[in-house]
Amino acid sequence: MAEEHILEFERPIYELEHRIGEMKKHNKRGPKVHTDIEILEKQLAELKKKVYSELSAWEKTALARHPHRPYTLDYVSAIFTDFIELHGDRRFADDPAIVGGFACLDGMRTMIIGHQKGRDIKENMRRNFGSAHPEGYRKALRLMQLAEKFGLPVVTFVDTQGAYPGIGAEERGQAEAIAFNLEKMSSLRTPILTVIIGEGGSGGALGIAVADAVLMLENSIYSVISPEGCASILWKDSSKAAQAAEAMSITADKLFRLGVIDSIIKEPLGGAHRDVPFTAVNVKNEILKFLNPLLGRPVEQLLRDRYHKFRVMGEFIENGKVVTSKRPS
């Protein structure tokens, strides 16, 4: 892993990896050196297992934001074929922060929509770091309605800190665009499946995530606000973001127990960026596992189940008792 992208909790792993690499590079491969390397490699495997199995919510947030983590177009190229990107909202402009178009999944025609971040400063500026403007959400809805027209399932990939909060975006109706998406997705007459692949931030995430099935990568996050934003509001101190992350239940395991998501997708040890092909295979398998049953479901039942899914989500207090809603069968 590149040193400039080493996370703090990964530093002992990096140092041991570097030591093993130097031994392999500079030492003659005698019996003693070979034995020493084997011992260190065993220690490395145990250290990785220990570190990555005990990650805090804040450490998972750092992994979800890792600059080498695969983005929407990485999954599209690895999982789908015959991708044809479509542009524009037919009202104002095209928003590169959201990509979408037709694609084939094992020969099945599908509409793909997702947030897209950049790999360098130039691309991040063009894609606004994955934070969409109103025209991005209107483009997404246009593509969903196109899928509905042709009877195609919709698969969305969520990876954004949140919708862009700039003056121009607000002037063009950012809140209305997201709210309109929520309304229309709830009644879209075709199956919708969402995968949280990195950050799922606030309404910017939910604007393409009202789905029949919501899947989440193991080291991604999904929340109403960023941990830093929450800490700034609650304690007037963004440095308490780690404390906020723990309190907010933003990780896949906690959200699954609350019934907010339907499945946790396994990542390789160390995060999705460590083995993108492995991650892509797992994502594809989970998409097919949840999408195939939805395809054969009558539309009216699909809409009833989607409504029920969101209606019973989470916990609430009734007659002084905390009630946990049951996951729809």
pLDDT > 80? residue 35: no
Q: 3-state DSSP call for residue 1?
A: coil
Do 10 and 151 lie in a common domain? no
Helix count (H) and strand count (E) of the chain?
14, 10
Position 125 confidence tier, pLDDT thresholds 50, 70, 90 = very high
106 and 34 within one domain: no
Asked whether residue 143 carries a pLDDT value surpassing 80, the answer given is yes
pLDDT of residue 16: 85
- Total tally of structural domains belonging to the chain: 2
In a domain, 146, yes or no: yes
Number of other residues whose CB lies within 10 A of the CB of residue 246: 15
**27 and 74 fall within a common domain:** no
Q: Which residue range is the domain that position 220 belongs to?
A: 61-293
Q: What is the pLDDT of residues 162-178, one digit of tens each?
A: 999 999 999 999 999 99
Do 50 and 96 reside in the same domain of the chain?
Answer: no
Query: For residues 57 and 250, is the Cβ–Cβ distance under 8 A?
Result: yes
Query: DSSP string spanning 44-74?
Result: HHHHHHHHHHS--HHHHHHHHT-TTS--HHH
Q: Could you give phi then psi for residue 111, rounded to 5 degrees?
A: -100, 125
pLDDT-derived band at 275 (thresholds 50, 70, 90) equals very high
- Look at residue 24 in the predicted model and tell me its pLDDT: 76
Residue type, position 278, single letter: F
DSSP one-letter code for 309? H
Whether residues 45 and 66 share a domain: the answer is: no
Q: What is the pLDDT of residues 287-297, one digit of tens each?
A: 999 999 999 89
Q: Write the burial class of residue 47 (CB in 10 Å: 0-12 exposed, 13-18 middle, 19+ buried).
A: middle
pLDDT in tens, 300-310: 999 999 999 99
In this structure, the answer to whether residues 149 and 229 fall within a common structural domain is: yes
Phi, psi of 115 (to 5 degrees): -70, 145
Residue (of 120, 91, 113) closest to 160 by Cα position: 113
pLDDT mean over 65-91: 96
Q: Which one of 54, 69, 93 terminates a domain?
A: 54
> Looking at the predicted structure, is the pLDDT value of residue 230 above 60?
yes
Q: Which CATH number is 71's domain given? A: 3.90.226.10
156: β partners: 113, 194
3-state class of 22 per DSSP? Answer: helix
- 12-26, 59-73, 277-291: which range is least confident on average? 12-26
Is the same domain home to 217 and 268?
Answer: yes
Instruction: Classify 329 as helix, strand or coil.
Output: coil
What residues have CB less than 8 Å from 139, skipping those under 6 apart? 86, 87, 88, 89, 94, 95, 98, 100
Specify if 215 maps to a domain. yes
Judgement on whether residues 46 and 107 belong to the same structural domain of the protein? no
pTM for this predicted structure: 0.89
Whether 25 and 70 share a structural domain: no
State whether the Cα torsion 176-162-209-133 is positive or negative: positive
User: Is residue 139 situated within a structural domain?
Assistant: yes
Instruction: For residue 319, give the 3-state DSSP assignment.
Output: coil
Q: How confident is the model at residue 49 (pLDDT cuts 50, 70, 90)?
A: confident
- Say if 68 falls within a structural domain: yes
Residues 27 and 117 in one domain: no
Residue 31 confidence class, pLDDT cut points 50, 70, 90: low
Type and span of the H or E element at 116 = none
Residue 314 lies in a domain: no
Q: Which residue has the tokens 């999944």?
A: 105
User: Furthest-apart CA pair in the chain: how many Å?
Assistant: 73
Instruction: Give yes or no: residues 238 and 131 share one domain.
Output: yes
Do 70 and 197 have their domain in common? Answer: yes
The residue to which tokens 């049953």 are assigned: 293
Q: Which residues pair with 154 in a beta bridge?
A: 111, 192
Short-list 59, 129, 135, 143, CA closest to 93: 135
Is residue 282 in some structural domain?
Answer: yes
Q: What is the pLDDT of residue 329?
A: 44
Q: In this structure, what DSSP letter does residue 114 have?
A: E
Q: Would 166 be classed as within a structural domain?
A: yes
Q: Is residue 316 part of a domain?
A: no
Which pLDDT belongs to residue 91?
93
The secondary structure of 212-261 as a DSSP string is SEEEEETT-EEESS-HHHHHHHHHS-GGGHHHHHHHHT-BHHHHHHHTS-
pLDDT class for 328, splitting at 50, 70, 90? very low
CA atoms in the 13 A half-sphere facing the CB of 243: 10
User: Residue 132: pLDDT above 50?
Assistant: yes
Boundary (domain end) residue, out of 54, 70, 96: 54
